[in-house]
Amino acid sequence: MNRREFNLSCLSASLLPAGTLLASSAAAGTEVSQEELESVYEEVKTPFKYGIVVDELGGYLVDSPGIFRKDGKWFMSFISQTRKMGYETFLAQSDDLLKWEFLGPLMTFREEGWDAWQAAAYPALVDTRWGGSCAMLPFQNKYWYTYLGGHQKGYETDPLSMGVAWTDDPTKPGELARYERNPVMAPSDPDARWFEKRTLYKSNVVWDRERTLGKQFVMYYNGKNAGVERIGMAVSDDMLSWERFGEEPVIDNQRGISGDPQVVRIGDLWVMFYFGAFWKPKAFDTFAVSRDLVHWTKWTGPDLIAPTEPWDATYAHKPWMLKHDGIVYHFYCAVGDRGRTIALATSKKL
């Protein structure tokens, strides 16, 4: 079978029920073949840029979308750089993934505390099945978020640490309940690894019911040290107590930024979408693939998204991707002549 025939067969397989795509791979152990990487790329690529879906809010920068579905509606958490003081988190709603209605805040500034001036939250335990429900799954009757927090004003001012928060209803705006023993991880922790000694950034938590790594929750996040950001991981059984996993990062491009991971399950493979910056020009979205959640093979082919338009000419990065009704939706932060916004690209022209 030549490469073209292989890719066509994998595209056909992508229409089968979850668990069948790439299940016949002969790759041994944790190895992911080039052919499998190419078939994933064909499945997830989004060459059609729809445009901006969430513009700056009254001049406030918007960033880092996280999408989930509940009761037939779509919801987006996103963060905003407010009054140049720090990050806050907000919620929007949509019927069609294209037109979004602002609902209100989820996390705002506080008068004091380790997270007084930075509270950037990301939905946790969203159904990872590609083409699945996209539901935010409850654990112990709570809907969970992880967030980066900090006590200093400014744009991502170091140090930033990791917190946990939750709500009884993820469809309603209102302050998330913050865990009283936050932060759950910090760059100053005795067990902080060499690549995360300066600050911790965006996190994504997946629910691994098979407990592949001995725990049911797996967190991926980017940490910074000496100006370089790399992606590491941690595990938990209760969403509150986290243990760092391994001594090394799982994604490391040696320079610049590798960050903002989102992990989904496509057939028998785990796929991590993430963004890169400054180890190639500007900022762009790409992916890596794993069999075991630990060993990741990086895609080195065409970017999933890259700057091409006036409104994303500076950066096209920070992915949240999903498949619904046969269409792949790729939400990302677009920086260009409209400021810092949230844009959308798709696998089919809408």
Bridge partners of 165, per DSSP, are 145, 178
Q: Which pLDDT score, from 0 to 100, does residue 28 have?
A: 46
- What are the φ/ψ torsions at residue 198 (nearest 5 degrees)? -100, -45
Extents of the domains making up the chain: 3-346
Q: Measuring CA to CA, which residue among 263, 215, 223 is closest to residue 242?
A: 215
Q: What is the mean pLDDT of residues 223-246?
A: 98
Q: How far is CA 283 from CA 103, 217, 286, 305, in A?
A: 29, 29, 10, 9
Q: Which pLDDT score, from 0 to 100, does residue 60 have?
A: 83
Residues with Cβ within 8 Å of 81's Cβ and at least 6 positions away in sequence, in order, are 60, 61, 63, 87, 155, 340
Confidence of residue 83 (pLDDT cuts 50, 70, 90): low
Chain centroid offset of residue 142 CA: 20
Residues with Cβ within 8 Å of 235's Cβ and at least 6 positions away in sequence, in order, are 213, 214, 215, 217, 218, 219, 242, 243, 245
Q: Measuring CA to CA, which residue among 277, 273, 276 is closest to residue 290?
A: 273
Q: How far is CA 141 from CA 84, 111, 136, 169, 241, in A?
A: 36, 29, 12, 10, 18
211-228: b (≥16 Cβ within 10 Å) or e: eebebbbbbbbbbbbeeb
Q: Which pLDDT score, from 0 to 100, does residue 334 have?
A: 97
Q: Which pLDDT score, from 0 to 100, does residue 97 have?
A: 98
Confidence of residue 82 (pLDDT cuts 50, 70, 90): confident
Q: What is the mean pLDDT of residues 75-103?
A: 93
3-state secondary structure of 89: strand
At the fourth CATH level, which superfamily is domain 3-346? Answer: Glycosyl hydrolase domain; family 43 (2.115.10.20)
Confidence of residue 171 (pLDDT cuts 50, 70, 90): very high
Range list of H helices, the chain: 3-13, 34-44
Among the residue ranges 6-15, 72-81, 241-250, 260-269, the one predicted with the least confidence is: 6-15
Q: Which pLDDT score, from 0 to 100, does residue 10 have?
A: 40
Q: Which pLDDT score, from 0 to 100, does residue 55 have?
A: 93
Average pLDDT, the chain: 92
CB 203 within 8 A of CB 244: no
Residue 26 has pLDDT above 90, yes or no: no
Among the residue ranges 16-30, 85-99, 199-213, 217-231, the one predicted with the least confidence is: 16-30
236-252: b (≥16 Cβ within 10 Å) or e: beebeebebbeeebbbb
Q: Which pLDDT score, from 0 to 100, does residue 30 have?
A: 84
